[in-house]
Structure 1
Amino acid sequence: MLGEGFTLFNILRIVVDITLVWYVFYKLIMLLRGTKAIQLLKGIFVVFIFYLISYVLNLQTVQVMIEQVIVWGPLAVIILFQPELRRALEQIGRGSFFSRNRRSEEEIFNQSIEAIVKSCNYMGKRRIGALITIERETNMGDFIETGIPIRGQLTNQLLTNIFVPNTPLHDGAVIIKQNEIVAAACYLPLSESPFISKELGTRHRAAMGISEVSDALTIIVSEETGHISCTRNGELHRDIDEEKLTEILRKDLEPNFVKTPTLKSWKRRGKKNE
């Protein structure tokens, strides 16, 4: 039999309590992902580690300083991160903190796919070289920092205009995160694989290089031939057409836009729009 303090109701209450706390914590992490508040969380973790070390080694001066940081830290957080806090409160007020607008996600997903495919086809027909890397699960922060910040909504026109020859941003890679062009003119690591064809240039080697160190999907438009290729998971898929490119993008990027698989609905929706 369960003890007096461990009745079935008490156990259920504890489970619900813990589940709610973890769910709210998860939603906060998802809300703050990609913002400067994530760096704050890393900073808090570092301060906590330093505090433990100072406690074990009895570093009293360090302890006093860290205790002052802990006391005044919450006030500093409120002042420095007003935009993030305001956005969180707005989402709670709209009821979108605990639920997502599925229809909106589908529209964003379709618009992003359409923008990428149209831009690649346009540049391919006009022999405009392009290198487009799309972030998935692996964070691309280190590579984003090597380029020029854009932070613009993903559109066919903007993506194409970046790669127009003889413009400041046309060299290097564009990095896309969901429906946002995060940065342009980014440097990607070149693959040193001996199995890459000698006829392929720097763009293809850079695309292979990033696919070897991350799960990103990278699209290459050849300046010499106008052919479209893509890399993912260390593999190079050459000379793909519009239909194949759309299929690859939908299959690989859907989990980053919509948590529940709805690939069939994407296909049905895509056929209606054709």
Structure 2
Amino acid sequence: MTTETTHELLSEQQIQFYRENGFVQIDNVLTPEELAELREYLDEAMTDEDGNSFATDKQGGSYYRVLNQKVNTWRDHGGMAKYVLHPRFAELARRLTGASAIRLFHDHALFKMPGDSKPTPWHQDMPYWPMNEKGALSIWITLDDVDENNGCMMFVPGSFKAGKLKGINFLDPQNINDYVEDPEIAATQPVIVRMKAGSCTFHDGLTFHYAHSNKTDKPRRVLAIIYMPDGTTFNGKNHLLTTKEKLTQDKPISGRLFPVLSRE
């Protein structure tokens, strides 16, 4: 998709909304044909047990009840690579941040399983990412219609302004008011983001967000992709994706797993 077409998807008003609030919704980021194709690819990737991607928990595990998650599906499945590395999504991320270039950090397939599902508790993403600078963000592409019944997202507008706080225990979460010290942010009403399949949100790595449990009889399927501005440096902390890459503390995160996907 050309830059001109990304301008059709993303208005200047949406860019300003993102920069003021730390998240934005973009409808119809996938065509109906792409949606059908990505559903097929994602289902295949989730059932493949070999390769370089990895699941974060096994069926029946405590974390599995929060998220059935697989990381770096693009490394094993050519169809997933088509979408994870797609310049359309990366260009949207670049325009939202104003970065001169955007790199991939990783993708993850996020299934909220039916039945015995738990909410994804309030959290920031940045405490789990080994980056010195702020500015990294995620696209969250839903392959199913989402609302409060099957795991749609909620965001606290402006909460990225609180800065990077401590990570939370997903299996024993705290109330958001227990660790957000800014009373204005703590008192801000969260926004529920209901979406049709093929739509997406972007959110800053410091924006507090939450996903409802899945009360339906079908999985809620999402492809999330994490991007970072080119030049983002490694903070030296252990992370599943950086320990094998021999990154140097305080040097830019780059190399074969972290390609530039969009430039100004």
More helix by share: 1
TM-score w.r.t. the length of structure 1 is 0.23
Which structure is larger by alpha-carbon Rg, 1 or 2?
1
